[in-house]
Structure 1
Amino acid sequence: MANNFDLQEQEQLEELKHFWKTWGNLITWALIVVMGGFAAWNGWRLWQSRQAQQATALAEAVESASRSGDMARVEQAVGDLQSSYGGTVQAAQAGLLAARVMAEAGNLDGAKGVLTWVADKAGDDGLRAVARLRLAAVLVEQKAYDEALAQLSRGMTPEFSALAADRKGDVLQLQDKKPQAVEEYRRAWQAMDERVDYRRLVEAKLNALGVQPQVVAAAGAAQ
């Protein structure tokens, strides 16, 4: 019985040796690839975490400098965010804040530059849309109406499309293009939920142009 057991062990050992000789290299390389991928994934997560932490610190510096009115520090911190952490949400949010402070201080060119960067580079669609809306407002202040319309016509997410249409109406009014302005205001009014307070402001703009949106909507429904 002992001899039979020894023979069975020997056969199993030989089978194991044969298996390892045949598949050992492949198994080893597979383990290397799996472990390497796991290490790379962990390293990437760690890098992302550090990027976010450092970007947050600079964003807080922008906020602090904005409160104190230190425009030089605002511009420096935003520049650092753009050059080193441009893909982070924190950079885009800080850019929106910095642009607002610049515009309020009368630095429209500075605000325009930062908002253009956020609109083009932010990783979040919503933040890009907000940047374009604010950039359009700055361009209107600079009387660059066609540029403002161009910003409002691109990259708008559905939740911002009504506001974009309203802003287009404002710009078209400034260009003395009443029919086109009415069309944009009507589009904004129809897209907004009736419970939204801002809808009443859009309605007032239409009323000022001689249009009753409820009457138009009722006529369209009847047809």
Structure 2
Amino acid sequence: MIMTKQSSNPNSNQLDGNMSDAQAMSALKQHGPKIFWAIVVALASYFGWQYYQNNHAKIDTVAADSFADISERNDALVLGLNNPDLDEAAQNLLKKEQDNLFADIDKLVASHGKSAYAWQALIIKAHIASDTKDYKTAITALQQALNIDLKDDGLKAITSLRLAQVMLADGDKEGALAIVNEKMPPAFEASKQELLGDIYVAKDDVENAKKAYETAWNVLAERQEVRSLLSVKMQSLGMNPKPITQKPSVVAEAKPQITDGENKKADDTANNQTSDTSATQ
């Protein structure tokens, strides 16, 4: 991952060479949610697999087949939604397919509502709804996912973080803050603190935003993990994050790549099913 260039002038407006603060934050707002969802989808797949391994759950073939169909249709739908050149007729067909997909997700949840398949299907529904700025639908789906008791702190943390981000996008800053301030496993501390910083920025509470971003950066530094987007956020507030020496990446072919930089500790969380511990600073 590329780190932003550090300026010798603490008041410099330059990021990544020629990008201004305003341009950087505009790019962040445009692409940040997509990057977050890429992380969520990777983590969701990984934790879902770990959940079944750890609990030796009997595979429900009906639910598995239903989710496989939903996942395949979701991939095709996302490709269409990301195509800016579709005409009106094609867009209408996509909307119809989205409605049909949502209906099938609701059927899966109704018939297998306590399963990890239902949880993953609701994550997919929230993803699509959020991308199309239907935040109310996304929030409802994530709240449903949060109510599925899979007895896994990692899955719960993933859902809570995403719910808080969507609530923030919908303008509910206090609701988002309440969600993020709940107890989460230490593996998610960096993501939690970064999202806290985002919420404080939205509340125009610059000092608390700086503290949260700094805490997130320090956690990442301990892990030798880099998030260039967090660096951009910090620099936009006049901060000068210390460069992090990134540890060599190890490609684990048997597992999905988790670009959030928290895959190792998330693995520990899933395997050990640690109890909730307070991560509030």
1:195 matches 2:224: yes
TM-score scaled by structure 2?
0.54
Match of 1:59 in 2: 67
Aligned counterparts of 1:136 and 1:79: Cα–Cα separation in 2: 22
What is the number of residues matched between the two proteins? Answer: 167
Runs of 4+ in 1 over 6 A off after TM superposition: none
Deviates more, 1:175-184 or 1:52-61: 52-61
Take 1:53 and 1:145, find their aligned partners in 2: how far apart are those partners?
Answer: 41
| CA-to-aligned-CA distance 1:20-50 (integer Å, 9 cap, x gap) | xxxxxxxxxxxxxxxxxxxxxxxxx9xx636
For 1:1-223, list aligned pairs within 5 A. 49=58, 52-66=60-74, 67-68=76-77, 69=94, 70-123=97-150, 124-193=152-221, 195-198=224-227, 200-214=228-242
Contact 2:168 2:176 in 1 (8 A): yes
CA distance in 2, matches of 1:77, 1:183: 43
For the 8 Å contact 2:70–2:105, the answer to whether it is kept is yes
TM-score by length of 1: 0.66
Deviation at 1:145, TM superposition (A): 0.7
Q: Give the structure 2 partner of residue 16 of structure 1.
A: none
Greater helix content: 1
Distance 1:155 1:73, change over 3 A: farther
RMSD after superposition: 2.4
- Identity within the alignment, %: 23
**CA displacement at 1:122 relative to structure 2:** 4.5
Larger Rg: 1
8 Å contact from structure 1 (residues 65, 73) kept in 2: no
Deviation for aligned residue 1:127:
2.0
AA in 1 matched with 2:103: Q
* Distance in 1 between residues matched to 2:177 and 2:200, nearest whole Å: 8
**Which structure has more RCO (C-alpha within 8 Å, separation ≥ 6)?**
2
Q: Structure 1: which 5+ residue stretches go unaligned?
A: 1-44, 216-223
Runs of 5+ unmatched residues, structure 2 = 1-54, 78-93, 244-281
Q: Distance in 2 between matches of 1:72 and 1:201?
A: 33
Residue 58 of structure 1 and its aligned partner are, at CA, apart by 2.0
Tell me which amino acid in the other structure corresponds to 1:49: K
Aligned to 2:133, what secondary structure does the other structure show? coil
Q: 1:213 to 1:103 in 2, by over 3 A?
A: closer
